[in-house]
């Protein structure tokens, strides 16, 4: 996920691309007008995608530590990690 200075968020859920607007206010991250592509993936990946999108559907507490963004209330949580430059999986 990339959070631009102009309030736009773009990224991937692991299966689909996601885009929308975001706002940070009073310690909460709010994602609005989110849209995704509509590709299908393995059941486990689709379940993970639905959990992430559900989490982003409401304002959430967040913590940024180095290259990590932790979003959620502790009970439901997403951990997003910035990839290292030049990271190659191939």
Q: What is the pLDDT of residues 48-79, one digit of tens each?
A: 999 989 888 899 999 988 888 899 877 778 88
Contact present, 9 and 20 (Cβ < 8 Å): yes
Model pTM score: 0.78
Mean pLDDT of the chain: 87
pLDDT digits (tens, 9 = 90+) for 12-61: 998 999 999 999 999 999 999 999 999 999 999 999 999 989 888 899 99
Nearest Cα to Cα of residue 22 among 62, 50, 75, 67: 62
- C-alpha of 59 from chain center: 12
Task: Quote the pLDDT of residue 89.
Answer: 44
């Amino acid at each position: 996920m990339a959070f631009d200075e102009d309030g736009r968020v773009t990224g991937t859920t692991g299966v689909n691309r996601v885009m929308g607007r975001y706002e940070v206010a009073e310690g909460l991250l709010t994602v609005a007008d989110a849209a995704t592509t509509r590709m299908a993936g393995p059941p486990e990946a689709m379940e993970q995608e639905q959990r992430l999108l559900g989490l982003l559907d409401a304002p959430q507490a967040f913590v940024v530590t180095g290259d990590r963004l932790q979003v959620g209330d502790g009970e439901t949580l997403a951990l997003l990690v910035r990839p290292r430059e030049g990271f190659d999986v191939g």
